Amino acid sequence: MEDREIRLNALRAHLAEGAEDARQGKFVEYDLDNFIAEMDEETNASD
């Protein structure tokens, strides 16, 4: 359960950052597979 919360919090933070960038008119191309890999790395680094 704790691992799930960590992943959800990381996703929420990433989405909030993207939402703020969108409000400022900043858009980037992003690969979903890369995003998942980065989230896995961050989760593993916090263990």
pLDDT digits (tens, 9 = 90+) for 1-47: 688 999 999 999 999 998 999 999 988 777 889 888 988 888 888 66
Query: How many domains would you assign to the chain?
Result: 1
Give the pLDDT score at 8. 92
Mention every residue, 6+ apart, whose C-beta is less than 8 A from residue 35: 14
Contact 42, 10 (CB under 8 A): yes
Q: How much is the pTM?
A: 0.55
| Helix (H/G/I), strand (E/B), else coil: 30 | coil
**Residue 14 is part of which domain span?**
2-45
